[in-house]
């Protein structure tokens, strides 16, 4: 017997921990950003103006499906003139400047049962909760996710408007069996920089260290934040830890990850002084690069960020891991030389039919058309002047 219900209170969310993580390990969506620890920590910090809307599916008392969702009231459109009751993934939709950037969000469903169980979840949303939402917004779901095609087909069959609002590539290094194989397949310029940088590093009193004890964490987190903020604030930018909410999230999640064996927080030191930090996660046979902090060295061949990644990748290969994931590529061109696999992440919007949504889509489409016209006109004028 299959029973589908909604979780609305944090105590029930808390009680789901063991079942949640067991199901995640048995799903095709097994990423660190979908662990109970990540999402529960996020909710404690960001849940104030949101309502839990986790959908659970049990079969004969066993959890076989999870939709990690929330509800929020959104103002949308260029003039913020459209009001939508929105259902979204947990760990998404933060205000600009406070985002955690939880990539690879998805539904958590027992492997091989995706079609059946996700249909139960969507039926629950479109029938039991039909009056509680105008749109379902699902960011950072993998294009190759089994659930993506199910969502698209279900929407078409049930008269819902399905749109892909954004596509963003990720940068991933699929890892070979040896470090030598990785180096030989890397672009020659990257290979030169790694080898030259390591030779320069060997001339100095240097070391690459990983934080492995909880009593080291407070100082390590402080150093990570200082290194990162120093560099970005020097460029006149706020930096990744400027937000108190984001900083609080990482101060809470880092000790949890260390205890679970998921943390890879490493430093590059010269004369016992940190010149670079690398904040990674190790989960499900892969490394996720999350954040770094570096002090540029006077020796141009000694690039702390590049060297830290080289040590991190070499270590991952020795541990038999499969991938080193740089997450979204964005404007970070330094990720390209490391990359040999670039899957896309999608922002999906599913909306109920109706006048409000039709008017919203028409106006947004028209404004997008005007933006494109403006862009081409500016390019034409610039070209004509040259």
With a cut of 60, say whether residue 385 has pLDDT above it: no
Sign of the four-CA dihedral 66, 70, 74, 78? negative
Mean pLDDT of 118-147: 96
Locate all alpha helices (DSSP H) within 158-216, ordered by sequence.
Answer: 179-185, 188-202
What is the reported pLDDT for 371? Answer: 72
With a cut of 60, say whether residue 139 has pLDDT above it: yes
Residue-wise pLDDT tens digits, 36-54: 999 999 999 999 999 999 9
Residue-wise pLDDT tens digits, 79-103: 566 788 999 999 999 998 899 999 9
Residue-wise pLDDT tens digits, 11-32: 999 999 999 999 999 999 999 9
- Tell me which of 6-10, 192-196, 198-202, 364-368 is least confident: 364-368
366: confidence class by pLDDT, cuts 50, 70, 90: low
Mean pLDDT of 116-123: 98
Higher pLDDT, 378 or 300: 300
What is the reported pLDDT for 78? Answer: 58
d(CA 163, CA 379): 29
Pairing mode, if any, of strands 323-328 and 263-270?
Answer: unpaired
Mean pLDDT of 371-376: 72
Mean pLDDT over the full length of the chain: 92
What is the reported pLDDT for 360? Answer: 72
- Tally the residues of the chain: 386
d(CA 135, CA 357): 9
Mapped onto helix, strand or coil, the DSSP state of residue 301 is: coil
What is the reported pLDDT for 280? Answer: 98
What is the reported pLDDT for 272? Answer: 93
With a cut of 80, say whether residue 376 has pLDDT above it: no
With a cut of 90, say whether residue 310 has pLDDT above it: yes
372: confidence class by pLDDT, cuts 50, 70, 90: confident
* Structure token digits, residue 109: 């469903």
Cα–Cα separations (whole angstroms), residue 350 to 106, 220, 245, 256, 307: 14, 42, 29, 34, 43
d(CA 373, CA 368): 9
With a cut of 80, say whether residue 355 has pLDDT above it: no
d(CA 142, CA 147): 9
* CB neighbour burial string for 345-371, b if at least 16 within 10 angstroms, e if fewer: bbbbbbbbeeeebeebeeeeeeeeeee
d(CA 99, CA 39): 13
What is the reported pLDDT for 374? Answer: 72
Distance, first Cα to last Cα, the chain: 71
With a cut of 80, say whether residue 284 has pLDDT above it: yes
267 with 277: CB under 8 angstroms? yes
Residue-wise pLDDT tens digits, 207-235: 999 999 999 999 999 999 999 998 888 88
Nearest to 174 by CA among 316, 377, 334, 17: 316
User: Which residues, at least 6 apart from 217, have a Cβ–Cβ distance to it below 8 Å?
Assistant: 211, 254, 255, 258
Enter the pTM of the model: 0.92
Mean pLDDT of 101-114: 97
* Structure token digits, residue 166: 């954004």
With a cut of 90, say whether residue 182 has pLDDT above it: yes
Exposed, middle or buried, 187 (CB in 10 Å: 0-12/13-18/19+)? exposed
What is the reported pLDDT for 369? Answer: 62
């Amino acid at each position: 017997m299959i029973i589908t219900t909604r979780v609305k209170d944090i105590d029930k969310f808390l009680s789901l921990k063991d079942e949640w993580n067991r199901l995640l390990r048995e799903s095709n969506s097994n990423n660190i950003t979908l662990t109970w620890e990540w999402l529960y920590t996020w909710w404690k910090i960001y849940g104030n103006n949101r309502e839990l809307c986790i959908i659970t599916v049990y079969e004969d008392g066993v959890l076989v499906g999870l939709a990690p969702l929330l509800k929020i009231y959104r103002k949308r459109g260029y003039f913020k003139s459209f009001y939508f009751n929105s259902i979204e993934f947990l760990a998404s939709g933060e205000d600009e400047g406070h985002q955690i950037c939880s990539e690879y969000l998805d539904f958590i469903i027992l492997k091989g049962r995706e079609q059946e169980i996700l249909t139960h979840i969507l039926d629950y949303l479109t029938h039991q909760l039909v009056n509680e939402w105008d749109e379902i917004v699902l960011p950072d779901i993998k294009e190759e996710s089994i659930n993506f095609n199910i969502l698209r087909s279900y929407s078409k069959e049930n008269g819902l408007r399905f749109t892909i609002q954004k596509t963003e590539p990720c940068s991933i290094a699929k890892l070979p069996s040896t470090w030598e194989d990785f180096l030989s397949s890397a672009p020659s310029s990257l290979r030169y920089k790694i080898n030259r940088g390591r030779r320069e590093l060997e001339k100095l009193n240097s070391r690459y260290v990983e934080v492995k004890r909880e009593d080291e964490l407070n100082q390590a987190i402080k150093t990570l934040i200082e290194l990162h903020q120093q560099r970005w604030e020097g460029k006149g930018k706020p930096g990744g830890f400027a937000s108190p909410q984001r900083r609080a999230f990482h101060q809470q999640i880092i000790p949890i990850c260390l205890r679970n064996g998921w943390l890879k927080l490493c430093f590059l030191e010269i004369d016992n002084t940190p010149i670079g930090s690398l904040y990674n996660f190790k989960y499900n046979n892969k490394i996720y690069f999350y954040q770094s902090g570096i002090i540029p060295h006077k020796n141009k061949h000694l690039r702390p960020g590049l060297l830290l990644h080289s040590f991190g990748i070499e270590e991952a290969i020795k541990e038999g891991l499969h991938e080193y994931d740089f997450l979204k590529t964005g404007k970070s061109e330094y990720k390209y030389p490391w990359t040999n696999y670039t899957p896309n992440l999608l922002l999906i919007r599913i909306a109920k039919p109706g006048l409000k949504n039709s008017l919203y889509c028409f106006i947004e489409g028209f404004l997008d058309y005007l933006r494109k016209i403006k862009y081409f006109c500016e390019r034409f004028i610039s070209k004509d002047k040259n």
